Amino acid sequence: MKDFRIGSGYDIHKFLEIALFENAAKRLYLGGILIDGHIGVAAHSDGDVILHSLTDALLGAISLPDIGVLFPDDLKSTKGINSVEILKHAYKLVREKGYGLVNADITVITQTPKVSAYKERMTAKVASVLETDVSRINIKGKTKEGLDSVGKQKAIECFSVCLLSSE
Which residues contact residue 69 at a Cβ distance below 8 angstroms, ignoring those fewer than 6 apart? none
96: helix, coil or strand? helix
Instruction: Tell me: does residue 142 bind ligand CDP (CB under 6 A).
Output: yes
**Which of the choices Zn ion, ligand CDP, none does residue 83 contact, using the CB cut-off of 5 to 8 A by kind?**
none
Interface characters, 10-29, with Zn ion (x: CB under 5 A): -x------------------
Q: Which is nearer to ligand CDP, 104 or 115 (CB)?
A: 115
> CA 110 to CA 21: how far, in whole Å?
20
Of the residues 53, 83, 110, 123, which one makes contact with ligand CDP according to CB under 6 A: 110
Instruction: Tell me: does residue 149 bind ligand CDP (CB under 6 A).
Output: no
> CA 9 to CA 163: how far, in whole Å?
12
Q: Which is nearer to ligand CDP, 79 or 154 (CB)?
A: 154
Q: Which stretch binds ligand CDP (CB under 6 A): 21-29, 63-71, 76-84, 134-142?
A: 134-142
Of the candidates 10, 37, 34, 6, which has an alpha carbon nearest to the alpha carbon of residue 106? 10
> Exposed (0-12), middle (13-18) or buried (19+): which is 127, by Cβ within 10 Å?
middle
Q: Which stretch binds ligand CDP (CB under 6 A): 16-24, 42-50, 56-64, 139-147?
A: 139-147
Burial 147-166 (b: 16+ CB within 10 A, else e): eeebeeeebbbbbbbbbbee
**Which of the choices ligand CDP, Zn ion, none does residue 52 contact, using the CB cut-off of 5 to 8 A by kind?**
Zn ion
> CA 67 to CA 47: how far, in whole Å?
12
Instruction: Tell me: does residue 115 bind ligand CDP (CB under 6 A).
Output: yes
Instruction: Tell me: does residue 158 bind ligand CDP (CB under 6 A).
Output: no
Question: Could you list the residues that contact ligand CDP (CB under 6 A)?
Answer: 110, 114-116, 140-143
